[in-house]
Amino acid sequence: PDKTIFIEQTLTPIVRKTAHFSIYALLGMLTINFMFAYKGRSYYQKGLTSFVFCLIYAISDEIHQNFISGRSCEFRDVYIDTLGAVIGILIVILITRVYRKIRHKEEKYKINENTKIMFISSTGGHLSELNNIMEPMFFNYNSYFLIH
């Protein structure tokens, strides 16, 4: 009997609140991903729009629960749901910003044919290696190396 009371009074509310938090975190993630489809808006605008949508949904969910027997409308649940949505939104924004910074750095330091030529020549590469790279770039590459 004591275990049943412990489960009903302690564990069940924790599991329910954690489930609400997690589901709204997922809702926040999906909402901000949807907002990323709109170009020309800042992270702040997209995040705020996602937040407001999730907040309105959480409020409407609690109002709806007020009309269902055995359920109640509690401000605390709106707070937990909205907090979950905010965490989900922030996670996606953080991951997106890190991904874009990494991609930007890769584009900035992209290796092209000129980079290869500079690398081979700066490391004492053989003339034949340079010729293999330069061949498609110059028509008469042998005379180019002899003159310059």
Q: Is 45 helix (H, G, I), strand (E, B) or coil?
A: helix
- Phi, psi for residue 109 in degrees, rounded to 5: -105, 30
| Least confident interval from 15-24, 40-49, 66-75 | 66-75
Average pLDDT over residues 95-124: 66
Q: What does pTM read for this prediction?
A: 0.66
Q: Is 4 helix (H, G, I), strand (E, B) or coil?
A: helix
H or E element, residue 5: helix 2-6
With a cut of 60, say whether residue 147 has pLDDT above it: no
pLDDT for res 135: 59
Name the band, by pLDDT with cuts 50, 70 and 90, for residue 51: very high
With a cut of 70, say whether residue 137 has pLDDT above it: no
pLDDT for res 145: 46
